[in-house]
Structure 1
Amino acid sequence: MDDDIGCKRLQEYYVKQEKCYYVKSHKGCQPRGYIPYLQIFYCKFRPVLGYTSLALWLVILFYLLGDTASSYFCSSLEGLSDILKLSPTVAGITLLSLGNGAPDVLGSIISFSSESTKDIGLNSILGGAFFVSSVVVGIISISVSKHGRKISRSSFITNILFLLFCLSCLLGILILGKINLWGAISFLSLYLIYVFVIFVCTKEENLAENSDESPSVLLPLTMNFPKENPNGSSDSNLPLLLFMANESHILTDYKGKTLLYILELPLYLPRRLTIPLVSQEKWSKPCAVVSISLDPLLCCLIWGFNTSKQQILIYVIVGSSIGIALGILAFCTTARLSPPRKCLFLWLSLGFLMSIIWTYILAQELISLLVSIGLILGINHSILGLTVLAWGNSLGDLVSNASLAKNGGPRGAQLAISGCYAGSIFNTLVGLGLSFTFSTWATYPGSCTIHAEDSVFETIGFLIMGLLWALVILLNRKMRLDRFVGSGLLAIYACFLSSKIARTLSLL
C-alpha cells in the first residue's frame, strides 16, 4: 500500500476491477469514516445500485443529523437552560444557535482534522451562511410580504454589521494564508463579544412583558413536533417521520403508522438507547437505564476504533464494566413514571454529551461520504461542501424559520430573521474558530497554513454583496419585509450558483 494522498489517480482507470484494486491498495483511498464507500462502490455494487445506495445514504445522514439536533440535542439544551436560569436573550443567541449549528460546527472541525479536506469545512460554513442569509431570508421576505411586517432596526443593523466584521476578519486570515494559536483564540472569542453586545443592546423589560406569549428559545427546531396525541397520550418518543406523518395526515390508519414506525426503527433505536432523555413527556426508565449502561461502551468503541483487536477488547471490557455499574445505580435511583429530580444536571449533561458524540459520528461519516462521491464523480469535493453539504445542513433553517415567520406574527418574523443572521455568525465564529484553534494547537508554537482557493474569495464576495443589499434596501423601505428585498437576495444567490456551475463545466 503506497501513500497516494487523496486517491487522486482513481480517474485514470476505466475498468471496474482496476479501480477496485486501486482503492484497496492505496492509502489515500481508505475511508475517513467507518464505512469504506469506495471499496463498496467499485468492488461490491453495480453502478446503478451503487449510485442509488450512495444517494439514499446521503439523504439518511442529513436526516439523522437534523433529527438528532431536534429530538435529542435541543431537549438537553432546553433543560440545561432552565437549570442555569438563562434569560431568553442569552439562551436564544447561545443555545438556539448551538442547536441549529451543531452539525455545521462539528463537520467543520472534522474536515479540518485532515489537510486534504480543510476546504470542505471552509466552503460548507461559508456556503451555509450565504444560503441562510440570502435564500432563507429571501424566501421569508417574500412569504410575509403581503402582511407588511417590519423588523427591529437596531437588532438587524447589529447582526448585519457584526457578520460583515466577522467576514472581514476571516478574509484577512485567508489573505495571510496562515494563523497561529492566539489568532485562532481571538477569532473564536469574537463570539463572546457578540453575545455581550446583543445582551447589552436588548431591552430585558420588553422581553419580560411578552414572556407569556413568546415562544420557546428553541422554537425553530421544536415547533413542529407535537407533544401529545388527541387522546392525551404522549407521542414524543416516536420517530420524527411518524410525527411528520401525523402532522400532515398522510397516514390515517393504524397499520400505516405502524409500518412507518418499523421502517424508521433501525435509525431511531440506536440513538434512543444511547442518549438519555429526562424531560417529563419523553421519560422512559428502561431506555434511561439502557442508555446510561451503553454510553461508556459506545465511547470506548469510538475511542479505540482504529486500534488493534487486543486494545479494542480491553476497551470493551472497561466500557462494559463501567456501564453495568452505572446501569445498576440508575435502576435503583430512578422512578418508573417520572424523570429524576436529583442529579438532573448530570443527566442533562450526559444527554448533551451523547448528542454531541452522535452528531460527531454522523458528521464524520457525511464528510467521508462527500469525499467519496467527489472521487467517484470526478468533482472537487470543495464544490460539494459549498453546495450539497451547505444546503443539507441549512434545510432545517429554511423550513423552521420560514414557518416561524409566516405563522408567528410580527414577533415570529423578527425571531426568524434574527435567527438567520445569529446562526450564520455562530457557525462562522465558533465553527471556524474551533477548527482553527484545534489545528493551531497541533502545530503550536508554529502557525497553521490555510490554503484558500479562489472560489472561497468569490463566495465571500457574493455573501458580502447579499448582506449589503439587505442592509441598504431594508433601511430604505423602513425595515419592511417585501418581495423586492427577497427577490434581490434570491437573484444574487442565483448569480453565484450560475457562476459555480459554469466554472465546474469549464465554461468560465
Structure 2
Amino acid sequence: MVISSAFKFNLFLIITSCATSYGDSAITTTCTAIHQQNSPTAKCNYVKTNPGCDPKGYINYLQIFYCNFSQFPQLGFVLFLLWLVVLFYILSNTASEYFCPAVEHLSKTLNLSPAIAGTTLLPLGNGSTDVFSSIIAFTGTTDGGDIGLNSILGGAIFVSTVVVGVLSLLITYHRKIVTVDKPNFIRDVVFLLFTLSNLLIIITVGKITIWASLLFVSTYIIYILLVCYMHFHTTKTQKKIIDPNDDDYQTTTAPLLGSYDEENLTHPAEKLVIYEEQVQKRCIVTFFSVINTPISLPRRLTIPVITKERWSKPFLVISVALAPLMVALIWNTQEGKLGLKSSLMTYFIVGSIGIALATCTFAFTSSTRPPQKCLVLWYALGFLMSVTWTYLTADELVALLESLGNIIGMSPSIIGLTILAWGNSIGDLTANVAMAMYGGADGTQIAMSGCYAGPLFNVLVGLGFSFTFVSWSNYPVSFVIPEDPNLCETIGFLMIGLLWALVILPKRGMQLDHTLGGGLLVIYLCFLCIKLARAVGLLGDSSSNL
C-alpha cells in the first residue's frame, strides 16, 4: 500500500493546488454570454478570447463546437454525446475490470473480513467515479461546487429509490421471498439520515470551515467502527448458537447462473438453431471487440493485471514500464493549471525507473502463471493506475458536461442531478440487480446494503473530501457553499425515500415487495418531474437554473 499512499498524497497536492485557484476563478469572466452573440463568427471569437471559456479538461469542447462545427452544430452535438457515452463507459469499465478486482484481491491478501471490506474497499470501488467527479467539480470552476453537490445527491437518491425499487419489484415479480437483515438495514438508513441532516445544516449555514469538514468526513470512521463491532458481535453469537455437527448446518453451493447441462436437456432438433445463434453471437462479440480495442488497449498497456484469467506477461511488462511515464505525463498536463514544471530530466528519471521495473518483471515472472510473491505491491500498483484512469476520465467528463451545459444553456445543478448522477449510478443498478437475482438471499442482502452504504460513502467521503480540499485552500476563511435553493428540496426527497423504506420494511417483516418498490419509484418520479419542470420554467422561478 506504499505506492497507493504516495499517489494519494501526490493527488492531494494536485487537487489542493487546483483549489488554491478556486477563489481566483470566481472573479473571472464566465462563458454564459455566448448565447448573446449574433453570428457563428462572433461566437467563435468570443470563445477564443474570453478566459471563462477556457477548457477545464484536456479538450477545448467549446472551441470545437463553435469554431470547427459552426456550420454543422447538430453534427458537433451528436459527436459530443457519443464521446459522453464513451467517457461513461470508460468510467464504469475501469471500475469493473480493473479497480474492483484490485480492491477484491487486496482485501483477500490483507485478510479483511467481508463486512469490513464491504464498508471500506468495495464502496471505494463502486463510488470512486462519484467521489472523483465531486472532487474535480468542486476544485475546477465556480459552478463546479453546484455540479458536485447535485451529482452526489442525485446519485444517492437514484440508488436509494430507483435501484431499491427495481430490486423490490423484480423480486416480487419472480415470487421470491427475501428477508433483509433488520439491524444492518436500520443502521445504514439511520446513519444516512443523520449524515443528510448534517449536510442540510451546512447548506443552511452557507459556509464550512476546515474543522467542520474534517468532522464531517470523520463520521464515516464512526460508521466503520460500528460495522466492525456489529460484525464481530454477530460472529461471536453465531459461534455459540450454530453446531457444526448439525445436519442443517451442512449446505451445498451451486453456481449463481445454474448448474444444469443444457446441451443434454435440449431437443436434437433445436441444436442447429442454438448453434446458429452462437455463431451470430461470436460475430457480434468480435465486432464489438474490434471497436473496443482503441478504448481498452491504452488501459491494458498501463494498468498491471496479475489475475489468472487475464494473465499475460508481455502486457504486464509493458504496463510496468509505461505506468510511471503516464503519471509523469499527467503531472506535466497540470503545468498550465498549477504552474508546475517538468523537465527532460524528470522524464529521463521516470523512464529509467519504468525500464528497471520492466526488466525485473521480465526476469522474475513466469510466462505461464502470474506472480505468487509481493502480491500486495502488485495489487496496489493496479489499484494506483486504475485510480489514475478514473481521475483522468472523471476530469474530462466534468469538463464535457460543463461545456454541454454552456451549449444548451442548462443549469449545472440539472446536469448534476440527471446526466452525471445517472451515468455514475448505472453500474450500481446493473451490479445490484444481478447480485439480487442470481445471488440468493445473501446476494439480495449484499445488494441492499450497497444501496445505502454506497450513497453514505459518496456523501461522507466524496463531499467530505471536497469540502476539506476547498476549505483548506481558503483557510482561515470559510468556504462558501454554492447558493442553490433547490439543494434542500433534493435532500428532502432523499430523506422521504429513506423514511419510506424505514417504515414499510419493518411493517412487511423486512420482506421486499411491490409496496416498497412502487412507493420508492413514485417518490423519484415526483422528484424528477419537479426538477425538470422548474428547469424549463413551468414551476417557480427558473432564473437561477437557466
Partner secondary structure for residue 178 of structure 2: coil
State the Cα deviation string for residues 312-369 of structure 1 (Å, max 9, x = none).
Answer: 6454333322222221122122111122222221111111010101000000000000
CA distance in 1: counterparts of 2:74 and 2:278, whole angstroms: 30
What is the identity, as a one-letter code, of the residue corresponding to 1:122? L
Is the counterpart of residue 284 in structure 1 residue 304 in structure 2?
A: no
Shift of the 55–207 alpha-carbon distance from structure 1 to 2, 3 Å rule, reads: farther
Q: Cα gap change, 1:254/1:466 in structure 2, threshold over 3 Å: closer, same or farther? A: closer
CA contact (8 A) 2:153 2:459 kept: yes
Q: For residues 471 and 310 of structure 1, do their structure 2 counterparts lie closer, same or farther at Cα, with a shift above 3 Å needed? A: closer
Q: Which residue of 223, 238, 263 corresponds with 1:194?
A: 223
- In structure 1, how many angstroms separate the alpha carbons of the residues matched to 2:395 and 2:295? 17
Deviations 1:412-432 (A, max 9, x none): 221111110010111111111
Alignment gaps of 5+ in structure 2: 1-24, 243-248, 258-262, 264-276, 540-546
Where do 1:179-328 residues align within 5 Å? 179-202=208-231, 203-204=234-235, 252=280, 254-307=282-335, 311=342, 313-328=344-359
Alignment check: 8 A CA contact 1:301 1:312 kept: no
Residue 101 of structure 2, aligned match among 66, 75, 79: 75
Cα separation, 2, equivalents of 1:448 and 1:112: 11
**1:446 maps to 2:473:** no
Q: Residues of 2 paired with 1:381 and 1:352: CA distance? A: 31
SS at match of 2:486: helix
Alignment partner for residue 162 of structure 1, among 167, 191, 198? 191
- 1:149 and 1:304 map into 2 onto residues whose CA distance is 52
The alpha-carbon distance between structure 1 residues 62 and 205, as it changes in their structure 2 partners (threshold 3 A), is: farther
Contact 1:296/1:323, CA 8 A, preserved across alignment = yes
1:47 pairs with 2:73: yes
How many residues align? The count is: 478
Note the aligned Cα RMSD (angstroms).
2.4
Q: Aligned AA for 1:449? A: V
The C-alpha deviation readout for 1:82-112, integer Å capped at 9, x for no partner, is 1110011101111211111000001111111
2:124 counterpart letter in structure 1? L
4+ residue runs of structure 1 moved beyond 6 angstroms? 206-216
- Check whether the contact 1:69–1:355 (CA below 8 A) recurs between aligned residues: yes
Q: Say if 1:269 and 1:206 are closer, same or farther in 2 by CA, change over 3 A.
A: farther
Shift of 1:379: 0.5
Corresponding residue SS for 1:281: coil
Measured against aligned partners, the alpha-carbon deviations of 1:40-76 in whole angstroms (never above 9, x if no partner) come to 1111122121111011111111111000000000111
Out of 344-353 and 322-331, give the one that drifted further. 322-331
Q: CA deviation at 1:212?
A: 8.5
Q: Do the aligned residues in 1 keep the contact of 2:308 with 2:369 (CA within 8 Å)?
A: yes
Give the conservation status (yes or no) of the 8 Å contact 2:332–2:341: no
Amino acid paired to 2:305: L
Give secondary structure in 1 for the equivalent of 2:335.
coil
Q: d(CA) in 2 for partners of 1:60 and 1:420?
A: 25
- Cα distance 1:307–1:149, how it changes in 2: closer, same or farther (>3 A)? closer
Are 1:138 and 2:162 matched, yes or no? no
Evaluate the alpha carbon distance shift between residue 448 and residue 4 of structure 1 in structure 2; reply closer, same or farther with a 3 A threshold.
closer
The 10-residue stretch of structure 1 (180-189 or 460-469) with the greater mean CA deviation from structure 2? 180-189
Post-superposition offset of 1:4: 4.8
The answer to whether the Cα contact below 8 Å between 1:272 and 1:287 also exists between their aligned partners in 2 is: yes
- 1:454 is paired with a residue whose SS is coil
2: CA distance between counterparts of 1:436 and 1:215? 46
Contact 2:126 2:454 survives alignment (8 Å): yes
Distance 1:116 1:212 in 2: 55
The one-letter code of the counterpart of 1:302 is I
**Aligned match of 1:411 in 414, 422, 442?**
442
Question: 1-side partners of 2:478 and 2:466: how far apart?
Answer: 13
Tell me if structure 1 keeps the 8 A contact 2:192–2:456.
yes
CA contact (8 A) 2:134 2:466 kept: yes
Percent sequence identity is: 48
Alignment map for 1:338-417 (pairs within 5 Å) = 338-417=369-448
SS in 1 for 2:497: helix
Between the aligned partners of 2:102 and 2:169, the Cα distance in structure 1 is: 34
Output the amino acid matched with 1:183: A
Specify the structure having the higher radius of gyration (Cα).
Answer: 2
| Separation in structure 1 between the aligned mates of residue 43 and residue 185 of structure 2, nearest angstrom | 53
Shift of 1:447: 1.9
Q: How far apart, in 1, do the equivalents of 2:143 and 2:499 lie? A: 33
Maintained 8 Å contact 1:177/1:452: yes
Per-residue CA deviations over 1:416-473 (Å, capped at 9, x if unaligned) read 1111001011111111111111112212233222123011111001101111111111
Q: 1: distance between equivalents of 2:359 and 2:251? A: 41
Structure 1: runs of 5 or more not aligned: 217-222, 225-229, 231-248
| Residue of 436, 460, 463 corresponding to 2:494 | 463
Q: For the residues of structure 2 that align with 1:251 and 1:141, how far apart are their CA atoms?
A: 36
When residues 356 and 310 of structure 1 are mapped into structure 2, their CA distance, relative to the original with a 3 A threshold, is closer
Range that drifts further, 28-37 or 146-155: 146-155
Q: Which has the larger displacement, 314-323 or 59-68?
A: 314-323
Distance between the aligned counterparts of 1:312 and 1:289, measured in 2?
26
Structure-1 separation of matches of 2:512 and 2:160: 14
Larger CA deviation: 174-183 vs 34-43: 174-183
Distance 1:40 1:200, change over 3 A: same
1:207 Cα offset (Å): 8.4
CA distance, structure 1, for counterparts of residue 35 and residue 457 of structure 2: 38
Task: Specify the code of the residue in structure 2 equivalent to 1:327.
Answer: A
Change (3 A) 1:266 1:205: farther
Is residue 36 of structure 1 aligned with residue 68 of structure 2? no
The 8 Å contact of residues 158 and 422 in structure 2, kept in 1 or not, is answered as yes
Equivalent residue of 1:478, what SS? Answer: coil
Secondary structure, in 3 states, of the residue corresponding to 1:31? coil
Distance 2:283 2:528 in 1: 44
Alpha-carbon separation, structure 2, partners of 1:212 and 1:193: 35
- Distance in 1 (CA, whole Å) between partners of 2:282 and 2:439 is 32
TM-score, length-scaled by structure 1? 0.89
- Given the superposition, is the C-alpha separation of residues 81 and 16 from structure 1 closer, same or farther in structure 2, using an over 3 Å criterion? same
Following TM superposition, by how much is the alpha carbon of 1:261 offset from its aligned partner in structure 2, in angstroms? 1.4
Q: 1:207 to 1:490 in 2, by over 3 A?
A: farther
Q: Secondary structure at the match of 1:282?
A: coil
